[in-house]
Every structure is written in structure tokens, then in C-alpha cells.
Structure 1
Amino acid sequence: MTPEELAELTDDERALRDKLIADADEYGTAVVEVPAADERSGPYAFTVGAWRRFGVPEAIVVGLPPGLGADLVNLYVKRAAAGERFVTGIRYKDFFAGRPVVFERVFKGRYPEFFGSAFLVYPKGDFPAVQIIVPTEDVIWPWHPHAPEGFARWQPILTDSLKPESWTPGVNGP
């Protein structure tokens, strides 16, 4: 961030930026948890600082209960910081609480809506991001035709099309 950009921040924005950077420096990443906007949408959690610290994409998970989303993105950063790399469309079995997950790239057009405070650290939005997608307990993914009603709305896929784009479900991905 340039001195001019820093000067344009409010005191609250500067304090939040300093906290995000301090948390990332101390813990490997800062985690931001955002409550659901209404009963039709899910809460979400995302990382800030994983790209800056470890050169790995920032991560977001949508639709998990408060606390669980933060635990999942922290687990991702811990594993990625240790050198593990995650490929979109691959099902990672037993990744989190006995459940598989799959990763998808986040469309940059969704960054302002879902990564707002990350722009305090990356003002130009120049960071990659992946979404960690979690199925139901019965391992049904949001895009599946038998997914529970509202599941795709509760856990939207943050691509341009709102569908998996890095793989074809049921063909070369879950």
C-alpha cells in the first residue's frame, strides 16, 4: 500500500489493516468471519495474509457455522504453509471433521463482495483465492440435483457462473 493510499484510510481502517497484518505475521494468517446477511444466506470465513506470508491462495468457506469456517480455513493455511498444494476439482477425503472437501478458484469479480477487508492489505485485489466447498453430511455437493433445497444458495460457488468451472461435476470432479 502506498503512503498516499494509507493516508486515505480512516483510523478504523488503518487499525483493522494493522491487526490483519499482525495476526498474519503471528499466526500465519488472519481469519475474518462474517455472519449471514439473512436467513437465506450462509455465514462465511476467509483468510487474509496467506498469500503475503506463504505465497498460497487466500481461502474462503461459505455456509459453515461460526467457528467451523475459521477452523477449516486455518487448517488449509497450516497444511499449505507446510508445503501441501491443493488442486481444484480433486476430492480431498477426510480433510475436515471426517468430511471431504473440494477446492475451486474464486472469480475476481466476487472479491469485493466476499473479501472486503482483504483490500486493506491488497488494495488492488492482486491475490489468488480458492473456495473450500464442503458437502452435506451425506456427501451431497451444492450443485448435485439431489442437494437439499436452498443448499446451493446457502453455499454458493464463487465462480463467474456460480457453478464449478475448473472441472465437470461427475466427469472429472465430484
Structure 2
Amino acid sequence: MDDPYNHIKKQIISDIQEHGVHIAYVDTDGYTPRFGYSIGLYKEFNHPELIIIGLPPESIGVIINEVKSEIEKGTIYIEGVRYTGFLSGYPIQFVRVSPSYYQDYVGFAGWYNDSSFDFPLLQVVWPDKEHHFPWDDDFNPRLKFQQPLLDRNEDFKFLEERNLGVYTTSDVLEGALIRFVYHNADGDWQFHSSNKPNLEQARLVCLNELVKLDPSLNEIYYLNYGEWAERSTAGSEWKVYAAE
């Protein structure tokens, strides 16, 4: 069977041979933010790969290529330091990405690095217009989910507040397996054990409460507006369906 990603893999190899790095872009789907990441920095320069979330492709390309040029000169970028000269008028910082996020974001980097996620990855973090970073108290709250930080919140990957009210039924709260998840077009979430839930048992709870009950819900945090997912058992893979 032909590999549907063969043309992408050939382009990755070609770009790395010619430029020392390939930059993969993933556009926003209206819910999850756009992002881009490097492939090749680890194998070619023994430097962590990079990922940037929330900036337009042209800015992502400029930053990664500039960092690559500096790496070629022997520079090594580390966490907790403000670097200037990459984003016009603004500093950037780096944080080390938790491996639990690798499969969610940098799949082709895993393929290139010997089909393994055993490599370091840094997130390039940008500030708001007032130069506040996401971990600062004064950071613009409207930008919070445009740039999720991948060094934390491994227990809760949803791009929502933990106390967001979501819909479920009392049987789920009593231990029934969540088998159907709906992200409605209006932004509401529903979590049910049946595709025909008993609405007399409907309950409104905090999203974080359900994720604590079943951490595997993090596997479908990315569901776009109007999409839904189902699984047959606790260990089976989620099947995702687009809006009808």
C-alpha cells in the first residue's frame, strides 16, 4: 500500500539536504491555533527541534531560519533567557516541551528522527504587545489559547478553561465509560456513554472534573467545532467525524 505521506517525506528530506532544515506548517482549523516546527536541527546540528504556536507562517519561517543560522555558528539556545533580534521589536524565550505533547504536534519530526520521539524539543514563546509573556500575570488573556504552553498542563490539554461548563449525564459521573464526545458548532462540549443519552439525567459539570475522571479524554482535545468522536472500549482508539 502506498504511503499517503510519501510526497511530504520526500520534501522533508530534500529541504534538509539543501537548507539543513525543513519547516512544517499546520494551519488553524478555526479552533486549534496554527503552528510550525523544525525538522532536522537535531540530526544535523545536535540542537533541539523548535515549535512555534500562534504566529503566521512567515514569522515562523523567519524565526526558525534565523535560529538555524545562529546554531550553525555554534550558538545553543536555552530556556529562561530572553533573546532579541528574531521577532521585530519583541523578545522571545524558549521552554522545553514535555514529551507527552510530541505526538500531538510534531509527528513528522518523529518520523525523521528514526521513527522515535526521543529528541529534545523547545517551544519558542512570544509575548503580547506589552511585552508580557504567557506566564506573566498581566499577559493578555485573549491570547491565552492562541499559544498553549507545552511544558505544562499535561493533565489537561483542552484549549479551554478548566472550569468550563460542559454537558454530560449522571451515569458518566457514576462511572460509565464516556464513549461519545461532541464539540458543538456553538462551542459547547458534550460527553456521553451513549449516542442516545437520557436527557432526564443531564448534568452540567466543569470540564476538568471529567478529565480527572477519564484522562484519556485529552486524546481528543483538538476536536473542531461541529466534530464528534466515538470509541467502543476504554482502550480503543477514538474515531473522529467531521461536522455533517
Does 2:18 match 1:26?
A: yes
Aligned partners of 1:105, 1:10: CA distance in 2, in Å? 35
Q: Is the 8 A contact 1:61 1:132 kept in 2?
A: yes
So what's the TM-score if we normalise by structure 2? 0.59
What's the counterpart of residue 82 of structure 1?
A: 73
- SS of 1:11's equivalent in the other structure is coil
Aligned partners of 1:26, 1:48: CA distance in 2, in Å? 13
- 1:117, distance to aligned residue in structure 2 (A): 1.8
Amino acid at match of 2:25: E
- 1:79, distance to aligned residue in structure 2 (A): 1.1
- Give the direction of change, closer, same or farther, for the CA distance of 1:23–1:160 in structure 2 (3 Å limit): same
- Give the direction of change, closer, same or farther, for the CA distance of 1:10–1:111 in structure 2 (3 Å limit): farther
- 1:18, distance to aligned residue in structure 2 (A): 2.1
Aligned partners of 2:125, 2:136: CA distance in 1, in Å? 13
- SS of 2:81's equivalent in the other structure is coil
Aligned partners of 1:153, 1:73: CA distance in 2, in Å? 22
- 1:96, distance to aligned residue in structure 2 (A): 2.2
Which string of whole-angstrom CA distances, capped at 9 and with x for unpartnered residues, describes residues 102-121 of structure 1?
A: 11111111001110222221
Amino acid at match of 2:101: R
Aligned partners of 2:142, 2:95: CA distance in 1, in Å? 20
Q: Is the 8 A contact 1:104 1:130 kept in 2?
A: yes
- SS of 1:31's equivalent in the other structure is strand
Instruction: In structure 1, list runs of 5 or more residues that go unmatched.
Output: 1-8, 163-174
| Match runs of 1:52-71 below 5 Å | 52-71=43-62
Q: Is the 8 A contact 2:59 2:87 kept in 1?
A: no
**Count of residues in Structure 1 that have an aligned counterpart in Structure 2:** 153
Runs of 4+ residues deviating >2 angstroms: 9-15, 93-96
So what's the TM-score if we normalise by structure 1? 0.80
- 1:78, distance to aligned residue in structure 2 (A): 1.5
Q: Is the 8 A contact 2:41 2:47 kept in 1?
A: yes
Q: Is the 8 A contact 1:143 1:152 kept in 2?
A: no
Aligned partners of 1:103, 1:71: CA distance in 2, in Å? 16
Higher gyration radius (CA): 2
What's the counterpart of residue 136 of structure 2?
A: 144
- 1:138, distance to aligned residue in structure 2 (A): 1.6
Instruction: In structure 2, list runs of 5 or more residues that go unmatched.
Output: 155-244
The root-mean-square deviation of aligned C-alpha atoms, in Å, is 1.7
Q: Is the 8 A contact 1:103 1:133 kept in 2?
A: yes
- 1:129, distance to aligned residue in structure 2 (A): 0.7
- Percent identity of the aligned residues? 25
More relative contact order in 1 or in 2 (CA 8 Å, sep 6+)?
A: 1
Aligned partners of 2:29, 2:73: CA distance in 1, in Å? 34
Does 2:64 match 1:73?
A: yes
- 1:142, distance to aligned residue in structure 2 (A): 1.3
